């Protein structure tokens, strides 16, 4: 038997970490995503392969953990499970949640919402639910924990001018960073309040450049924006644009994916290229 399922990644425009404490956030599904194919052959073993990617035991083990959690709801999976992805992995675009949803849909069927969410709780502890909700719904949303996701239109002042920049993989997982931020909630009240106000400022049609600048400074105050990313965003701002990390960011290594907004994409591309960072459209 052969089953195929897929899921997009996501791009958070506003609300990182503040969403964990109940504030609203905005996100949209990414063009990139993951596709999972399972060929069950009636044998006794399972092979997990990642199409077009070098072997990586940690990544295969992560997929296997999700399969094993699915098996608590169905018969053992025997055969070959193939993961194809054009999503930047571990860089704040929801690759682990996309994999949870794609594997669960592939092995448990399209209506596996509750089971998939339980698996997400297991593999991404401490999450706000935003990544899961936007990827599951596959549409731009305003998310606030405990409330129904609200479909939104992303303002054209962002959509038409945004570029994504890959600043490299952070040294920490999102779950590790969320745990670290949670442990400092009291001392981070001010930046968390600033970030928590940004979703509704964008929806109220405030200039997104001003909102992104405030959001970015608050992310710096949380401690999740590496210095070279701070220096890049300063260069974008000096040219009249704005930029912020999308997703959890990082303490060591890269900052993951940055979303930059400027009318002149050639300028953003040049600033990124000078640092050896690839760019791609929203």
Of the residues 59, 91, 127, 262, which one makes contact with ligand MEV according to CB under 6 A: 127
Q: Would you say 37 or 174 has its CB closer to ligand MEV? A: 174
Closest contact distance (angstroms) between CB of 45 and ligand MEV is 35
Secondary structure in 3-state letters for 120-131 = HHHHCCCCCCHH
Q: Would you say 66 or 107 has its CB closer to ligand MEV? A: 66
Closest contact distance (angstroms) between CB of 12 and ligand MEV is 5
Task: Confirm or reject binding of residue 120 to ligand MEV (CB under 6 A).
Answer: no
Closest contact distance (angstroms) between CB of 252 and ligand MEV is 16
Of the residues 112, 248, 257, 268, which one makes contact with ligand MEV according to CB under 6 A: 248
Task: Confirm or reject binding of residue 166 to ligand MEV (CB under 6 A).
Answer: no
Q: Would you say 85 or 96 has its CB closer to ligand MEV? A: 96
User: Structure tokens of 17?
Assistant: 């970490």
Task: Confirm or reject binding of residue 12 to ligand MEV (CB under 6 A).
Answer: yes
Residue number, nearest CB to ligand MEV: 128
Task: Confirm or reject binding of residue 17 to ligand MEV (CB under 6 A).
Answer: yes
User: Structure tokens of 12?
Assistant: 């958070």
Of the residues 247, 250, 254, 256, which one makes contact with ligand MEV according to CB under 6 A: 247
With CA atoms as reference, report the closest residue to 153 among 195, 197, 203. Answer: 203
Q: Would you say 115 or 131 has its CB closer to ligand MEV? A: 131
Closest contact distance (angstroms) between CB of 19 and ligand MEV is 4
Q: Would you say 208 or 256 has its CB closer to ligand MEV? A: 256
Piece in contact with ligand MEV (CB under 6 A), picked from 10-18, 74-82, 115-123, 268-276 = 10-18
Task: Confirm or reject binding of residue 195 to ligand MEV (CB under 6 A).
Answer: no
Q: What is the rounded distance in angstroms from the CA atom of residue 54 to the CA atom of residue 49?
A: 9
Task: Confirm or reject binding of residue 19 to ligand MEV (CB under 6 A).
Answer: yes
Closest contact distance (angstroms) between CB of 71 and ligand MEV is 26
Q: What is the rounded distance in angstroms from the CA atom of residue 95 to the CA atom of residue 58?
A: 14
Q: What is the rounded distance in angstroms from the CA atom of residue 117 to the CA atom of residue 37?
A: 20
Of the residues 16, 84, 144, 166, which one makes contact with ligand MEV according to CB under 6 A: 16
Of the residues 95, 128, 167, 194, which one makes contact with ligand MEV according to CB under 6 A: 128
Give the binding site for ligand MEV (CB under 6 A): 12, 16-17, 19-20, 127-128, 130-131, 174, 178, 247-248
């Amino acid at each position: 038997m052969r089953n195929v399922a897929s899921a997009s990644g996501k791009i958070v425009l506003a609300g990182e970490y503040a969403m964990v404490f109940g504030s609203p956030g905005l996100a949209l599904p990414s063009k990139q995503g993951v596709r999972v194919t399972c060929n069950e052959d009636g044998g006794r073993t399972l092979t997990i392969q990642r199409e077009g990617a070098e072997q990586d035991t940690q990544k295969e083990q992560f997929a296997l953990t999700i399969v094993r959690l699915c098996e608590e709801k169905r018969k053992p999976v025997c055969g070959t499970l193939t993961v194809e992805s054009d999503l930047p992995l571990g860089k704040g675009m929801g690759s682990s949640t996309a994999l949870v949803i794609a594997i669960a849909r592939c092995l448990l069927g399209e209506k596996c919402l509750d089971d998939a969410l339980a698996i997400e709780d297991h593999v991404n502890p401490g999450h706000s639910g935003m990544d899961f909700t936007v990827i599951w719904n596959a549409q731009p949303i305003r998310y606030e924990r405990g409330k129904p996701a609200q479909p939104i239109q992303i303002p054209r002042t962002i959509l038409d001018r945004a570029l994504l920049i890959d600043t490299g993989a952070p040294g920490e997982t999102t779950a590790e960073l969320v745990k670290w931020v949670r442990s400092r909630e009291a001392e981070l009240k001010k930046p968390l309040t600033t970030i928590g106000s940004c979703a509704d400022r964008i929806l109220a049609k405030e200039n997104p450049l001003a909102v992104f600048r405030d959001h970015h400074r608050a992310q710096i105050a949380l401690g999740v924006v590496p210095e070279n990313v701070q220096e890049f965003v300063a260069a974008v701002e000096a040219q009249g644009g704005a930029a912020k990390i999308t997703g959890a960011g990082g303490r060591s290594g890269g900052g993951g994916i940055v979303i930059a907004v400027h009318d002149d994409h050639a300028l953003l591309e040049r600033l990124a290229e000078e640092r050896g960072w690839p760019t791609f459209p929203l």
